[in-house]
């Protein structure tokens, strides 16, 4: 596996790193095709917003240059970018000044079943609920234990993704995807001001849909609204869009708006 730390080939990490001790950092998972990183501007913008909120210094020019060089060396695959606050002493207080650590890992693209995109997937109803923390909501931070617990709830091949609600029962997202509902030609997705990850593909699809004249609403969504949807689909920055065909005993068709946006997402990832 290709691996760089602070711009140099390396695999060993300091035991003092605050990413390991406290999850004090952020990450981006980026599809790379023919040496080019997909949706790069959106990934870097989300990372910059996360650094601003967590008050982690960011040398964007240096990070961008490293990521471009890493992507060219990787060729085809997935680049995982991890930015931690760097080393620290014992205790929660952030070091002053912090010296952030840049970690890049390259791997082969995941081999998802073709039927996931063509015929749709079945969702697993996760019992694990997302806690509400507005200070961290939307960020791709390193604390992913809720997702770890949720993903451990199923091991069968029948379910490709899990549905995650928040502690109040609102529909939020998949374990590693964002979720959209289509109702009467209106595109709905969850408000992520309390919890959840604001995915880069989610942001891109909202912009693309609006440009096509499709009404988009970002707001709280109930479980009843999910079941009443005309179409449901998942998205992320690696596989694009998967239609959702079933959850427990409920079924949805793979509808025309899902297919239209699926083609757009496919083009975005085909650098």
| Catalytic residue, candidates 140, 161, 204, 258 | 140
Burial 216-250 (b: 16+ CB within 10 A, else e): eeeeebeeeebeebbbbbbbbbbbbbbbbbebeee
Plot region of 94 (φ>0 → left; ψ -120 to 50 → alpha; else → beta): beta
Our answer to whether residue 260 is catalytic in this structure is no
Residue 29 designated active-site: yes
Cβ atoms of 204 and 39 within 8 Å: the answer is yes
Extract the tokens encoding 123.
């969702």
Q: Which of 28, 66, 161, 173 is catalytic?
A: 173
Using alpha carbons, select from 179, 120, 167, 128 the residue that is nearest to residue 151: 128
Q: DSSP characters for 162-178?
A: EEEEBTT--EEEESSSE
By the 10 Å C-beta count (0-12 exposed, 13-18 middle, 19+ buried), 11 is classed as exposed
Burial class (CB in 10 A: 0-12, 13-18, 19+), 171: buried
163: buried, middle or exposed (CB in 10 Å: 19+, 13-18, 0-12)?
Answer: buried
d(CA 89, CA 87): 7
The catalytically annotated residue of 29, 84, 128, 258 is 29
Catalytic sites, residue numbers: 29, 140, 173
């Amino acid at each position: 596996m290709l691996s760089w730390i602070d711009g140099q080939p390396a695999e060993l990490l300091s035991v003092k790193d605050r990413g390991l001790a406290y999850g004090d950092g952020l990450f981006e998972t980026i599809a790379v095709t023919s040496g080019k990183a997909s949706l790069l501007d959106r990934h870097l913008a989300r990372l910059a917003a996360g650094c601003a909120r967590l008050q982690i210094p960011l040398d964007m020019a240096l990070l961008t240059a490293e990521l471009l060089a890493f992507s060219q060396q990787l060729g085809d695959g997935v680049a995982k970018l991890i930015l931690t606050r760097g080393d620290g002493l014992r205790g929660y207080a952030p070091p002053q000044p912090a010296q952030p650590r840049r970690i890049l890992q390259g791997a082969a693209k995941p081999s998802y079943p073709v039927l996931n995109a063509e015929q749709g997937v079945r969702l697993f109803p996760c019992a694990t609920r997302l806690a509400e923390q507005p200070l961290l909501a939307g960020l791709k931070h390193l604390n992913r234990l809720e997702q770890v617990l949720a993903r451990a709830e199923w091991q069968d091949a029948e379910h490709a993704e899990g549905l995650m609600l928040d502690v109040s029962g609102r529909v939020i997202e998949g374990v590693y995807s964002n979720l959209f509902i289509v109702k009467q030609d209106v595109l709905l997705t969850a408000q992520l001001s309390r919890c959840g990850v604001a995915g880069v593909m989610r942001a891109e699809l909202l912009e693309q849909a609006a440009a096509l004249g499709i009404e988009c609403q970002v707001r709280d969504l109930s479980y009843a609204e999910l079941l009443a949807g005309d179409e449901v689909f998942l998205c992320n920055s690696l596989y694009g869009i998967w239609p959702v065909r079933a959850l427990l005993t409920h079924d949805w068709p793979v509808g025309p708006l899902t297919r239209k946006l699926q083609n757009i997402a496919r083009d975005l990832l085909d650098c």
